[in-house]
Amino acid sequence: MKLFSFFTLIFFTLMPLQNLQAAPHKIDGISAIVDSTPILESDIQNRFQIVKERVPGGVMTDNIHRQILNQMIDETLQVNYARKIGMRASSSNVDNAILGVAKNMNLDLQGLKNVLASKGIDYSRYREQIEQEILMNNVKREIIKKRIVISDQEIDDYLSSETSITKEKEQVHFRHLLIRASDPEQAKEKITEIASKINSEDDFIQQAIENSDGQFAIEGGDLGWRPLNQLPPLFVRALDTEKGPLIGPLQSNAGFHLLWVIEKRSPDVTLQQQTKVRHILVRPNEIRNLEQTKELADEIYKKLKNGNDFTELAKKYSEDQGSTLQGGDLGWVTPGTMVPEFEDMMNQTKVGDISKPFRTQFGWHILEVEGRREADISNKVKRKNAEQALIAQKQDIVLGNWLDELRADAFIDIKN
């Protein structure tokens, strides 16, 4: 599932900023009011410029306008709810997220500010959008944590099922179209009519843009690659039994669904590679800025290259509370447990070597790879993976139901 909200953080991370257009300086009216929060027409136009290259045809139609407005209403509802329950995004979290965006663009913070300014994008507004992204991500995780409880029996059943054995490595790239079922008979009639108009992927894209209530409607319903064992069982059964590429209609508690299968793949199943690693972490703080922290990391690295003991330096300098007393020892690390920057550097470093200092959202690291092995996944890890797969199967519906509740309780005034 794409848990992260669709726009700000993801697109500023993945898209070159030269593709963004300056935000309009003229406020040309209110498109909607969500409780007491206005959504401006200029906000919608600016959002379209951000997603334009991902919109089939790249043209702002009435349907695209409606889908963007619906997205922004949903985002506003989520942010308002997060603030209502007292959730806040700390300045340091916002700063780290922005620094991550800058790093992905090979820029420092001032470089990012300069690029934003050159494109007419106000930095304070951009920072506010990043803060809202963090709030939405955090509140979604909280809702998932509260509303999805996986029992030991569910995990046992999953591990003994065919899905666990055969679907763990299989993935499917597909599009999704959802019609919510406030009136099931009317929704069924509507999706049946939609299905009758779909003879190609282009048809599916057009119908998704025009009609889908799904989160990624303006992308033609493209959900990207998904592991089969993390899809709802309803989808998995249909993907197994129907030839496709058009699958459905399928009925669930969320409504009626159509799927369009683009591609399937089944990577070879291999033993899990584990890496024995230790590290030293130094963090920026109130008295040591990011550049000074890098200088400290470089100094520690020189000491290591000159033969100083890694364990002793970790105990002296490392600010990772979980590993400092163990001389920076992280034990045997399995894929997917570390942030991407750490995992990439760990995979690049040969056994016995020490990496150069590198940065993650937590600070500057130096790591040493002590060994590698291929091993069967332990029962504890298998159960944790099973729990995560079961949560993934349920979270789309749970979050959809939660959004429906927010809409039902809110004052939403859409202007003509």
Q: What is the pLDDT of residue 323?
A: 82
Question: How far is it, in rounded angstroms, from Cα 300 to Cα 179?
Answer: 58
Q: Long-range contacts: 323-331, Cβ < 8 Å, 24+?
A: 323/278, 323/279, 326/278, 327/278, 328/278, 328/279, 328/280, 328/368, 329/278, 330/277, 330/278, 330/279, 331/276
Question: How far is it, in rounded angstroms, from Cα 416 to Cα 413?
Answer: 10
* Residues 299 and 333 reside in one and the same domain: yes
* Residues 229 and 129 reside in one and the same domain: no
> According to DSSP H, which parts of 148-200 are helical?
152-159, 162-166, 184-196
Residues 40, 29 contacting (CB under 8 angstroms): yes
The conformation of residue 267, written as its DSSP 8-state character, comes to P
The least confident of 85-94, 176-185, 262-271, 329-338 is 262-271
* Residues 14 and 33 reside in one and the same domain: yes
* Residues 371 and 291 reside in one and the same domain: yes
* Residues 253 and 169 reside in one and the same domain: yes
* Residues 294 and 322 reside in one and the same domain: yes
Domain assignment present for residue 388? The answer is no
In which element (H, E) is residue 274 found? strand 272-282
Domain assignment present for residue 381? The answer is no
Tell me the one-letter amino acid at 153: Q
Helix (H, G, I), strand (E, B) or coil at 275: strand
Q: What is the pLDDT of residue 257?
A: 95
Q: What is the pLDDT of residue 267?
A: 58
| Token duo for residue 58 | 């790249």
Domain count, the chain: 3
Domain containing residue 237: 160-268
Number of H helices, E strands in the chain: 15, 11
Domain assignment present for residue 199? The answer is yes
* Residues 130 and 171 reside in one and the same domain: no
Q: For residue 302, how many other CB atoms are within 10 A of its CB?
A: 10
Residues 29, 415 contacting (CB under 8 angstroms): yes
Residue 8 above 80 pLDDT? no
* Residues 308 and 178 reside in one and the same domain: no
pLDDT by residue (tens digit) across 329-382?
A: 998 887 777 888 898 899 999 999 999 999 988 889 999 999 988 765 567 777
Highest mean pLDDT among 166-180, 205-219, 258-272: 205-219
